[in-house]
Structure 1
Amino acid sequence: MPVVPARPIAPTASERERLKKMAYGHKTEYRLRARAQVVLHAARSRSNARIARETGLHLDTVRRWRGRFAEQRLAGLADRRRSGRPPAFTALQMSEVKALACRLPAETGAPLSRWSCPELAREAMARGIATFGSASTVRR
């Protein structure tokens, strides 16, 4: 099988600065840090195999992030949108349920000493916070 040469990577000065912040920042998520390190290694003309060995990533992972950067630049390092069911509750609804959960049930008139997930779901529906909800949804 013929060896396909890796795509050349030449980040601009501003991209390189951003990549360094991502790769060496203490508050950067691990996955973004790894992606930035792959691109920085690639900018030094290192092979995919060498980058995989030095970063501890799989060779296919190195190929993926190097290729995405070559095609889409920094935007290619972000997670792609995933398929699946959209969220059932808005951020506002979630915060209202959390605020309700932080209050004692007796303050709301419920004859309980503490909230259970089913009771919290029922109370949220009774108050009109959510039109539907299950105990497991509230628990999550």
Structure 2
Amino acid sequence: MTRTAAKLELSADERQQLALMRDSPSLPPLVVRRAKILLMAADGYPHVEIARQFGVSPPTVSFWKKRFTEHGLAGLQDRPKSGLPRIGDAEVLAELLSKVLHETPHPFALLRIAAKGRLSSRDR
């Protein structure tokens, strides 16, 4: 016996916002994919078919439906990641990468940069 998932109920405004997100060239691809998943769920497609369409598992489809139900459109955005913050800023990292790619580095070059305080162990 095949179990069918409950159809996701959307207001007209939510459907419109999800359609805009689906068609947005500037949003991160993962957010666009989540909007597409929700629109298919609202159209009554089974989780297995939605999952197959987007290369995810049926529990992932359930997860995004639940998160949308609990948090609305804001729930489609990635949450902050745990762990240590990035080391250094983009400018310092770009300079370091340029030196590594275009110069023969001194054996202690990275230590010198770190000693100057330009590449800290953590941004505070």
Question: What range describes the TM-score normalised by the shorter chain of this pair?
Answer: 0.5 to 0.7
- Give the secondary structure class of the aligned counterpart of 1:9: coil
Residue 138 of structure 1 aligns with which residue? none
- Give the secondary structure class of the aligned counterpart of 1:74: helix
Q: How many residues align?
A: 121
List runs of 5+ in structure 2 lacking aligned partners: none
* 42-51 or 31-40, larger mean C-alpha shift: 42-51
Higher RCO by CA contacts (8 Å cutoff, separation 6 or greater): 2
Shift of 1:63: 0.8
1:23–1:33 CA contact under 8 A, matched in 2: yes
Residue 116 of structure 2 aligns with which residue? 127
Residue 98 of structure 1 aligns with which residue? 94
TM-score (structure 1 length as normaliser): 0.62
Larger Rg over CA atoms? 1
Residue 136 of structure 1 aligns with which residue? none
TM-score (structure 2 length as normaliser): 0.68
1:9–1:39 CA contact under 8 A, matched in 2: no
Structure 2 CA distance, aligned partners of 1:26 and 1:116? 40
% of aligned pairs identical? 28
2:8–2:38 CA contact under 8 A, matched in 1: no
Shift of 1:47: 3.1
Structure 1 CA distance, aligned partners of 2:106 and 2:77? 35
List runs of 5+ in structure 1 lacking aligned partners: 104-112, 134-140
Residue 70 of structure 2 aligns with which residue? 71
- RMSD (CA atoms): 3.5
